[in-house]
Amino acid sequence: MTQTLSCFKAYDIRGRLPDELNEDIAYRIGRAYAESIRPTSVIVGRDIRLSSDALATALINGLRDSGVNVYDIGLSGTEEVYYATFSYQDAGQVMDGGIMVTASHNPKDFNGMKLVRELSKPVSGDTGLNDIKRLAEKNQFDDVATIRGALKNIDISESYTNHLINYINPKLLAPLKIVVNAGNGAAGHALDHLETALQKLMPKPLEFIKVHHEPDGNFPNGIPNPLLPENRDSTIDAIKAHKADLGIAWDGDFDRCFLFDENGRFIEGYYIVGLLAEAFLKQYPGAKIVHDPRLTWNTVDIVHEMSGVAIQSKTGHAFIKERMRLEDAVYGGEMSAHHYFRDFSYCDSGMIPWLLVIELISQSGKSLSQLVDERLLKFPASGEINRTILDSDKAISKVQDHYHGKAISIDYTDGLSMDMGEWRFNLRCSNTEPLVRLNVESRANEALMLEKTAELLALLA
């Protein structure tokens, strides 16, 4: 009898324990991944959640029973699974895929998995996840392999750390004081390795002020999700107490990082996309930069100023990565704090962005607030505003009808984007909830941006 598995989402696997995800389902996912992808060798890692070890063990057993060799990197961030998948070789054998056991920033009674195939290409929706779901639900697999797959524990920390440092020139870094908040998530070990490596390469070392640094699956300091304002206070307080130059906080699997300036102000991810685009175009003049459609003007302005090529892609990691590969783009960024890098096999990383930002601070002689304030004044933005609306399609049609005669251009890359010349907005439906998501920006006119944001929210109401 086929069992419907609600833990399969559009881009990954995510569910509440034990009813939506458990060890039996994890084992079946391992068997289904093996039968669908047909890999020989697969990387597996896991976050610090209390359930992650047991789920990873069940997943590994499913893979091995299918004859797949498993290379276990242990406690890790999602990007370490990406890195190991595209870079690790065993006696010339490259990896055919990778699976990270994580629920990222979800509450502690959730867990999940992120799946990739060779070269860390995403497995989602139409690129294989639906097939894996169908096989796991059916739960009728080929016989257990005659030769069971091997299990090998590997340590990628030195190679991974060296790869990260290659994105910057450590000799150019100023001895900044940096608050780093791992949020009781998995980021602590990666920061420790970077700290040790950078100390050997810099004329004067960085000073790290470590907050909630030790991994703890009980999440005693709240869910590792810096997008929640209530989870930012510990970072802000440490910046002010230590007079730090900036602060950085990560989500549970550290594929996203969030930056705070020297005053403790949280910096919207949109403006970090612009800073990183600038960093790469200094290094690679004329390169292509991929961005999402929610907020665009600041990114496009910087890219054009530096003679780069700005390319718009639908929101979502699978779409961004696919477009980056197609265009051979050097960098891609989403306002949600996902940043993608060509030399990281077009995958997202939460460690590369802050390294590039401290290099920008060091070389420019400007503080993070100075770097960002210039752009905030030029293109003020609302940030993403969510509203619960049951008939979201009808609401978006109403907004389009209202502004139709005033728009210079209308774009449907992702939801509805309308450009009114001095201001623009993007309105899109959530993939998973009865929500519409609104973003508004203007050209150097914060009052206009605020006025039009209120106007749009009144229309949606």
Q: HEC string of 117-137?
A: EHHHCECCHHHCHHHHHHHHH
> What six digits make up the tokens of 70?
């498993």
pLDDT greater than 70 at residue 432 = no
Q: What integer is the mean pLDDT of 38-67?
A: 98
pLDDT greater than 90 at residue 192 = yes
Tell me whether strands 339-341 and 347-348 are parallel, antiparallel or unpaired: antiparallel
Predicted local confidence at residue 428, as pLDDT: 96
Predicted local confidence at residue 187, as pLDDT: 97
pTM: 0.96
175 or 228, greater pLDDT? 175
The 3-state DSSP class for residue 42 equals strand
Residues in the chain, total: 461
Among 227, 125, 224, 138, which residue's Cα sits nearest to residue 181? 224
Predicted local confidence at residue 433, as pLDDT: 72
Predicted local confidence at residue 125, as pLDDT: 86
Q: What integer is the mean pLDDT of 51-61?
A: 98
Predicted local confidence at residue 401, as pLDDT: 97
- CB of 7 within 8 A of CB of 20? yes
State the DSSP string of 431-458: SSSSEEEEEEEESS-HHHHHHHHHHHHH
> What six digits make up the tokens of 448?
């206009």
State the DSSP string of 303-346: HHHTT-EEEE--SSHHHHHHHHHHHT-SEEE-TTS-EEEGGGTT
The 3-state DSSP class for residue 424 equals strand
Amino acid letter, residue 118? E
DSSP assignment, residue 150? P
The 3-state DSSP class for residue 79 equals helix
pLDDT greater than 80 at residue 138 = yes
> What six digits make up the tokens of 80?
């370490």
State the DSSP string of 237-267: HHHHHHT-SEEEEE-TT-S-EEEE-TT-PBP
The Cα 232–Cα 401 span in angstroms is 39
Percentage of the residues of the chain whose pLDDT score is greater than 70 = 99
pLDDT greater than 70 at residue 98 = yes
Of 70-74, 148-152, 298-302, 387-391, where does mean pLDDT reach its minimum? 387-391
The Cα 298–Cα 48 span in angstroms is 37
Active site residues: 104
223 or 165, greater pLDDT? 165
Q: What integer is the mean pLDDT of 6-15?
A: 94
Q: What is the pLDDT of residues 353-364, one digit of tens each?
A: 999 999 999 999
Predicted local confidence at residue 50, as pLDDT: 97
The Cα 280–Cα 332 span in angstroms is 10
Q: What integer is the mean pLDDT of 54-73?
A: 98
- CB of 441 within 8 A of CB of 456? no
- CB of 269 within 8 A of CB of 63? no
Q: Which strands, in side-by-side order, build the sheet including 339-341?
A: 309-312, 288-291, 331-333, 339-341, 347-348
Predicted local confidence at residue 434, as pLDDT: 79
pLDDT greater than 70 at residue 1 = no
CATH numbers and ranges of domains, the chain:
13-156 (3.40.120.10), 177-264 (3.40.120.10), 267-379 (3.40.120.10), 385-460 (3.30.310.50)
Going by pLDDT thresholds of 50, 70 and 90, the confidence category of residue 126 is confident
Predicted local confidence at residue 430, as pLDDT: 80
The Cα 380–Cα 271 span in angstroms is 10
CB count in 10 Å sphere of residue 124 = 22
Tell me whether strands 69-75 and 151-153 are parallel, antiparallel or unpaired: parallel
pLDDT greater than 70 at residue 425 = yes
pLDDT greater than 90 at residue 111 = yes
Going by pLDDT thresholds of 50, 70 and 90, the confidence category of residue 226 is very high
